[in-house]
Amino acid sequence: MTSTPDVLSCIQPTADLHVGNYFGAVANWVKLQQTHRCIYGIVDFHAITMPYDPVALRKNTRNMVIDLLACGVDPEKSILFVQSLVPEHCELCWILSSQCSFGDLSRMTQFKDKSQKLQSESGDDYISAGLFFYPVLQAADILAYRASYVPVGKDQEQHLELSRGIARRFNQRFNTDLFPEPKPLFTQTPRIMSLAQPESKMSKSAGPKHYVGLFEEEASIRKKIKSAVTDTGLPAAEETMSPGVANLFEILRACQADIAADQLQTDYQAGQLKYAQLKGAVGDALVALTEPFRRRRQALVGDEAMIDQQIRQLSEQARQIAADTLNRVRKLTGFPKSQP
Ligand code: TRP
């Protein structure tokens, strides 16, 4: 297949997805498959721009493929690829880098945030040029497939704008309409907060009490929800909901347990909600949601060689599209064809 997809999105290969990642991104990917031709990538080349361990990277990349398949990314409907298995991304990144100004890259707030964080946390002032260049590779990820829509979080808005600018400049400079200007798809997704510190987003870096892993065992899920921060005592009817309680309701609704959520919300408003009840319901809903994921994951793990072969096959489909784009790009930009 060399027809281009409508929707493209990518994720970095971090260790183990948590429910915040699932509701914020992956659930939407799975849903979009029903209505659009989608291509999804695991961007391992992006992961080396911050300090990293090669053994962990290799493992996380393989795991992320399994996790996404277990969540319902369906290779019958969509293409799933690993970025480093599609070398065209780097080639396109290099060509596009000359259609992107140094000034534009210097304005990327994610680079500023990440480099400041690195300096303050490690006390090391080594900032890789890769971190600075990261958005050009992201533009190449998108433009290699000439995708029109990119589901991303608001934090990626500036990178998407840069990708559009690169597409526009390329098209003008080489007098072509090869690249559509990719539009972000900001779907309303539930924003799940940390269980232990419900003022901040759920993340793994803060420690195990802060998140629920998507493939965690039932007992562990229930235990974590039980110890989630709420507030003290029964709520008074007129009080505004504390962030911890609001987050539990948000999780419940994200799991589509609306009937239970409505009932508990009525109790809350009447000042009669016992948090143990709410937590019980959230535990039930999360266990029910993730049970099939755990089951599918179990069936997939174990045979690394088989998994690696599957990753290669899946990425090969992506490569056909990217190679077609690259041949057109090479022609337009004055390079010989790389493949016969
Ligand atoms: N920068 C994105 C993130 O941190 C990941 C990413 C890389 C991406 N390439 C992409 C997202 C292409 C969408 C499209 O989340």
Tens of pLDDT, residue by residue over 8-21, are: 999 999 888 999 99
Kindly indicate the confidence band of residue 237, based on its pLDDT and cuts at 50, 70 and 90.
low
* pLDDT on residue 39: 98
Kindly indicate the confidence band of residue 78, based on its pLDDT and cuts at 50, 70 and 90.
very high
* pLDDT on residue 240: 83
CA distance 297 to 31: 19
Residue 236 has pLDDT above 70, yes or no: no
Mean pLDDT over the full length of the chain? 94
What residue owns the CA closest to ligand 1's atom 15?
11
Active-site positions read 114, 201, 204
Pocket lining: 63 vs ligand 1, CB cutoff 6 Å = no
* pLDDT on residue 238: 56
Lowest mean pLDDT among 170-184, 228-242, 288-302, 304-318: 228-242
CA–centroid distance, 242 to ligand 1, in Å, is 33
Closest Cα partner for 60 from 81, 42, 41?
Answer: 42
| Beta strands per DSSP E along the chain | 7-11, 38-42, 79-82, 149-151, 183-185
Residue 77 has pLDDT above 70, yes or no: yes
- Domains (ranges, CATH) in the chain? 7-191+303-333 (3.40.50.620), 204-298 (1.10.240.10)
Pocket lining: 142 vs ligand 1, CB cutoff 6 Å = yes
Q: Under a CB-based contact definition with an 8 Å cutoff, are residues 82 and 315 in contact? A: yes
Pocket lining: 163 vs ligand 1, CB cutoff 6 Å = no
* pLDDT on residue 235: 62
Kindly indicate the confidence band of residue 2, based on its pLDDT and cuts at 50, 70 and 90.
low
Residue 292 has pLDDT above 90, yes or no: yes
Residue 340 has pLDDT above 70, yes or no: no
* pLDDT on residue 242: 92
Lowest mean pLDDT among 51-55, 203-207, 235-239: 235-239
Pocket test for ligand 1, best of 152, 155, 162, 186 (most atoms within 8 A of CB): 152
CA–centroid distance, 250 to ligand 1, in Å, is 25
* pLDDT on residue 332: 98
What residue owns the CA closest to ligand 1's atom 8?
10
CA distance 238 to 102: 54
